[in-house]
A = this chain, B = another copy of it.
Amino acid sequence: MRLITEVASAAGIHEEHLELYGKYKSKLSPSLWDELKHKQDGKLVLVTAMNPTPAGEGKTLTTIGLSQALNAAGVKTVAALREPSLGPTLGMKGGATGGGKAQIVPADEINLHFTGDIHAVTSAHNLLSAMIDNHIFQGNLLGLDPQRIVWKRVMDMNDRSLRSIVTGLGDGNGPVRESGFQITTASEIMAVLCLCDGLADLKKRLSRMLVGYDQLGQPVTAKDIGAVEAMAALLKEAVKPNLVQTLEGTPVIVHGGPFANIAHGCSSVIGTRYALKLGDVVVTEAGFGADLGAEKFMDIKCRQAGLTPAAAVLVVTVKSLKYNGGVRKDELHTANRAALLSGLSNMERHIENLGKFGVPVLVALNHFEGDAPSEINDVLEACRRLGVPAAVSKVWAEGGAGGLELAMELKKLLEQGEGQPAAFAPLYEDNLDIPAKINTIVTEIYRGAEVAFSPAAKRSLGIIEKLGLHQLQVCMAKTPYSFSDQPRLLGAPEGFTLGVRDITLSLGAGFAVIITGNIVTMPGLPAKPAAEGIQVDLDGVINGLE
């Protein structure tokens, strides 16, 4: 590992703009922005994926490896990534810092507490929660309806027992009511932190956040509760982006980590902006497959921040192609050409979809040991037939060197676009109403036939109507495994009905969350949690985190 001061220096950042957290992590001071803001932006590249297997297809890995490869190819590149959450790290998935030779470091520290940003979100969120119940307890001057409080509590942990709880039991312990915890990454404050462009915008967004309704049905916000300034004080360091490096010394900004279902699943706007000033190319990612991740990246993050993506890299794997062709997850290591060819329909659909945003696409076949040469050929041949550039990526095994072909293809694609006006446009117009926005996504991206709203969702639409909130974007909360709301409807389904179970309002983030199927915002632990496999020796060296 190089000292972070050296990584920063190589990226053109003077030491006075660093706020060090040990020798290998640093926050970037707002003073750096004053120096950078007049520079021209680099090109923004989104790494997204086809519909995944439960193990994931390696978007973070590819983002890291591609940034290493571009630098190795002489293109000054910065990666912009999300921060790992303790819940999955200690639960099922393990860390989120890449793997093999395509990793960001210090991985253990990034995976655990990092620079405390997620803890700060937890604190700010739960301060508001405590102040809401305290407001009711102290006399309820605002006339809050205890049955209609929508603001829950959060914890950065996978703890299913906290999903649904009753609080305030016992004498003098506040109003008795049903409530629950979400994982911190599902907090609206995390979404707000990632979409704001600075402390002033952060405060505006925190002020707007809906906490519940009063007894007349009027919305009550965080501002009404009087919590905004104290929350902003708790978040004032968290709003600064974090700088770390890849195993090959590439500068990486790791900042923010909203859930990819009830939030937009992208790293922070602030971090992306810093990265665009520091790199000629910025490689970033969005959660889940392109149906969710890329759509929200384009329609929410890029729209709100005025960003223009220059290209999208679609990560596919032989495994996920077979999975989408109907193979069960425990049989994915066996060759099955028919399934692979059938699963290509999923890849093709995503390529087509990305085109609808006006963004050129490159396919990255993330190579796994055991992929047969014939399987790889089938994928590359399909891409040729579709007229889409593609390359095999071996960044796990080889680091940047294993991504050189992908980097060269991307360079070519970006050069083709040079000098031409950007064709990028979000999918739907801001002035459409909420049902029309949902319908556009369902028919254009998911290829469903229609949308069915539950009674609860219809009630929510009524509130949206009454409050005049149609300018909100829509944030789809849907299974990542299928284009539809049914996890087992794989490949490229059509003609299905998408059921909307509920709609919630994230007024600070600026979107309505469209809840389809059974979306869990507080994961549980598996029978053998990842935590059980972690050890720390007496020198503080951690094993088993990755």
Instruction: Say yes or no: B20 contacts A236, CB within 8 Å.
Output: no
Chain B residues within an 8 Å CB radius of A534: 229-230, 233
- Contact yes or no, B166 A165, CB < 8 A: yes
- Chain B residue contacts of A109, Cβ below 8 A: 237
* Of the residues B155, B160, B227, contact of A133 by C-beta under 8 Å: B160
Contact partners of A127 in chain B: CB under 8 A:
86, 90, 157, 531
Asked if A234 meets B112 with Cβ closer than 8 Å, knowing A167-B165, A525-B130, the reply is yes
How far is the CB of A291 from the nearest CB of chain B, in Å?
Answer: 27
A166 and B163 in contact (CB under 8 A), knowing A19-B22, A138-B527, A199-B536?
no
- Given A173-B164, A538-B200, A130 and B158 contact (CB-CB distance below 8 Å): yes
Q: Is the CB of A169 within 8 A of B165?
A: yes
Q: Report chain B residues within 8 Å CB of A27.
A: 22
- Chain A, residues 116-131, CB within 8 Å of chain B (1/0): the string is 1001101100110111
Q: How far is the CB of A162 from chain B (nearest CB, A)?
A: 6
Interface residues of A in 158-213 (CB under 8 A from B): 158-170, 172-175, 178, 198-200
* B173 with A237: CB separation less than 8 A: no
Given A113-B116, A165-B166, A531-B230, decide whether A236 and B173 contact each other with a Cβ distance below 8 A: no
Residue A21, interface by CB 8 Å: yes
* A234-259 near B? 1/0 per residue, CB < 8 Å: 10110000000000000000000000
A209 to B225, CA, bound (A): 39
| Contact A137:B166 (CB < 8 A) given known A20-B20, A226-B532, A532-B226 | no
- Is the pair B166, A170 in contact by a Cβ cutoff of 8 Å? no
Q: Does A529 contact B (CB under 8 A)?
A: yes
On chain A, the number of residues with a Cβ less than 8 Å from chain B's Cβ atoms is 76
- A160 adjacent to B131 (CB under 8 Å): no
The answer to whether residues A236 and B19 also contact, given A86-B123, A168-B161 and a CB cut-off of 8 A, is no
Bound: A137/B161 CA distance, A: 9
Tell me the minimal C-beta distance from A90 to chain B in angstroms: 6
Task: Known A112-B233, A164-B173, A535-B229; judge A126-B157 contact (CB<8 A).
Answer: yes
A74 touches B (CB below 8 Å) = no
**A157 contacts across to B, CB distance below 8 A:** 123, 126-127, 130
In the complex, which residue of chain B has the Cβ closest to the Cβ of A117?
Answer: B113
How many Å lie between the Cα of A412 and that of B540 in the bound state?
A: 43
- List residues of chain B with CB within 8 A of the CB of A167: 161-162, 165
Q: Find out whether the CB atom of A131 lies under 8 angstroms from the CB atom of B525.
A: yes
Q: Is the CB of B138 within 8 A of A160?
A: no
Contact between chains at A134 and B529 (CB < 8 Å)? yes
Cα-based distance from A344 to B540 in the complex (angstroms): 51
Is residue A57 contacting chain B, with contact meaning CB distance below 8 A?
no
Partner of A173 from the list B156, B163, B538 (CB cut-off 8 Å) is B163
Residue A545 interfacial (CB < 8 Å) = yes
CB proximity to B under 8 Å, residues A394-423:
none
Assess whether A230 is in contact with B134, with CB atoms less than 8 Å apart.
Answer: no
Q: Is A499 interfacial (CB 8 A cutoff)?
A: no
A161 contacts across to B, CB distance below 8 A: 130, 133-134, 137, 167-168, 173-175
From residue A538, how far is it (CB to closest CB) to chain B in Å? 5
| Chain B residue contacts of A122, Cβ below 8 A | 119
> Which residues does chain B contribute within 8 Å of A163, judged by CB atoms?
169-170, 173
A462: CB under 8 A from chain B?
Answer: no
A142 sits at the interface (CB 8 A): no
CB-based nearest B residue for A532: B226
Complexed CA–CA distance, A19 and B25 (Å): 11
Enumerate chain B residues within 8 angstroms of A153, measured Cβ to Cβ. 162
Interface flag for A355 (CB, 8 Å): no
A372 at the interface (CB under 8 A from B): no
Contact A236 B536 (CB under 8 A): yes
Q: Is A524 an interface residue (CB 8 A)?
A: yes
Chain B nearest CB: distance from A256 CB in Å? 16
Most buried by B among A23, A159, A168, A545: A159
* A432 CB–B CB distance under 8 Å: no
Would B232 and A536 count as touching, CB distance under 8 A? yes
Inter-chain CA distance A111–B268, complex, in Å, is: 26
Q: Once the chains bind, are A524 and B134 in contact (CB under 8 Å)? A: yes
In the assembled complex, the Cα of A106 lies from the Cα of B536 at a distance in Å of 32
Contact B545 A233 (CB under 8 A): yes
Q: Which of A139, A157, A170 has the most CB of B within 10 A?
A: A157
How far is it, in angstroms, between the C-alpha of A469 and the C-alpha of B226 when the chains are bound?
A: 49
- If A134-B160, A162-B167, A233-B535 are given as contacts, then 15 extra A-B residue pairs at C-beta distance below 8 Å, sorted by A number, are A20-B20, A21-B22, A22-B27, A113-B119, A119-B123, A131-B525, A133-B159, A134-B529, A137-B524, A160-B168, A160-B173, A160-B174, A165-B165, A229-B535, A230-B534
13 CB-based A-B contacts, threshold 8 Å: A19-B22, A20-B20, A90-B230, A113-B120, A119-B119, A131-B525, A134-B529, A161-B167, A163-B170, A165-B169, A173-B524, A199-B540, A226-B532
Q: Which 7 A-B pairs give the minimum distances between C-beta atoms?
A: A230-B531, A130-B159, A164-B170, A119-B119, A161-B174, A133-B161, A134-B525
